[in-house]
Amino acid sequence: MNELLYDINSGLIALVLFVSMAVAMELGYRIGYTTRTSASDASKEHINGIQASILGILALLLAFTLSLSLQRFDSRSEAVVDEANAIGTAYLRVQLVPAPLRKAVLVLIRDYVDLRVQSTALGVTDHAERDLQAAKVARIHAGLWDHARQGVEVDPNLYPPTLFVEAINGLIDSFGRREAALNRHVPEVVLLLLYATFLMSGTIVGFASGAAGHRPSLVSYIMVALIVGLVFIIIDLDRPRRGFIQVNQKSLLDLQTWIHAEVSARERQIVPTTPSTIQKP
């Protein structure tokens, strides 16, 4: 990843944010406290107005950033289902492949779905293993496409290319879409702007309290804790490979179970029912 924040633990980011806002509030309080005697009522009202405006901007940024994170989380969830459907459709359409090629294609697709399931368990720092899996996926893609081409060459009249060939093309495309969804994050500049707004808000809240002659109340720190908690959720949603909130992989796991059962059943000449999560050709 090129993003600086993405490789930092989300819990550490939340802790740094909480401490930073507490320090900003304390600094603002001390500066504001020195002006408590000279500040007029009009000046204090002006400060309170600015405080409300800054907090409003913060709320707007939080809502915008949370919306971005949720959209990306939803797109990753949809990508998993789409890829499972694409792999399942390709597997079903293997029946259109000429018999000499069929067994090899079945094995390739079975190995492919195993790789896609394994990829969900890899950590963000497992760069070597991810590179190895990417190479394996590329080889399987090339093998599937080569078998599709060979099938067309056997007898174009008996082998409709718009079925199996398009299914393989959809399988490859779904891989690209899912990987793109995994690598799409909230722009880091938005998170940095959010952080700067946090510090400004904390400073203004502390300054307003100091100008009024009292320290920031417990309610102020509760507000800070709630904001930090929301930011933690935003960051966690934006980390599909390391966050606590994970995309549901059930469709891929169900597909893997079905394909393995189907292969075993074929060896016994018993084909189980197609699962409802797989689109029929």
Spatial contact of 194 and 231, defined as CB atoms under 8 Å apart: yes
Ranking 90-99, 118-127, 259-268 by mean pLDDT, the lowest is: 118-127
pLDDT given for residue 273 in this prediction = 52
* Spatial distance between the Cα atoms of 174 and 167, rounded to a whole number of angstroms: 10
Q: Is the pLDDT of residue 148 over 60?
A: yes
Characterize 42-56 residue by residue with b for buried, 16 or more Cβ atoms within 10 angstroms of its Cβ, and e for exposed. Answer: eebeebeeebeebbe
Alpha-carbon gap, residue 46 to 27, rounded angstroms:
19
What average pLDDT does this structure show over 26-52?
83
Nearest to 199 by CA among 177, 231, 170, 240: 231
**SS3 (DSSP) at 241:** coil
Q: In this structure, what is the dihedral angle of CA atoms 222, 225, 229, 230, given to the nearest 10 degrees?
A: 70
**Residue 67 in this model has a pLDDT that exceeds 90:** yes
pLDDT tens digits along 82-115: 999 999 999 988 877 777 788 888 889 999 999 9
pLDDT at 224 over 70: yes
Q: How far is CA 112 from CA 85, 135, 163, 235, 255, in A?
A: 14, 12, 19, 31, 11
What integer is the mean pLDDT of 142-147? 90
Judge whether residue 41 has pLDDT over 60. Answer: yes
Which position has the higher pLDDT, 72 or 162?
72
Q: What is the pLDDT of residue 91?
A: 92
E strand or H helix at 6: none
Q: Which two tokens stand for residue 66?
A: 């949370």
pLDDT for the residue numbered 279 = 52
Average pLDDT over every residue of 30-57:
83
Sign of CA dihedral 202, 207, 209, 210: positive
* 113 touches 137 (CB < 8 A): no
For residue 96, how many other CB atoms are within 10 A of its CB? 18
Distance CA 49, CA 211 (A): 13
Mean pLDDT of all residues in 227-245: 85
pLDDT at residue 98, as a whole number: 73
**Would you call 280 helix, strand, or coil by DSSP?**
coil
Q: What three-state secondary structure class fits 116?
A: helix
Higher pLDDT, 206 or 151: 206
pLDDT reading at 1 higher than 50? no
- What average pLDDT does this structure show over 153-169? 72
Spatial separation of the C-alpha atoms in residues 100 and 98, rounded to whole Å: 6
Domain positions in the chain: 5-267
Note the pLDDT of residue 124.
61
Burial 160-186 (b: 16+ CB within 10 A, else e): eeebbbbbbebbbebbeebeebbeebb
Short-list 112, 69, 107, CA closest to 87: 112
Whether the per-residue pLDDT at 64 is higher than 70: the answer is: yes
Please check the confidence at residue 157 and state whether its pLDDT lies above 70: no
53: part of which helix (H) or strand (E)? helix 41-92
* pLDDT at 281 (0 to 100): 47
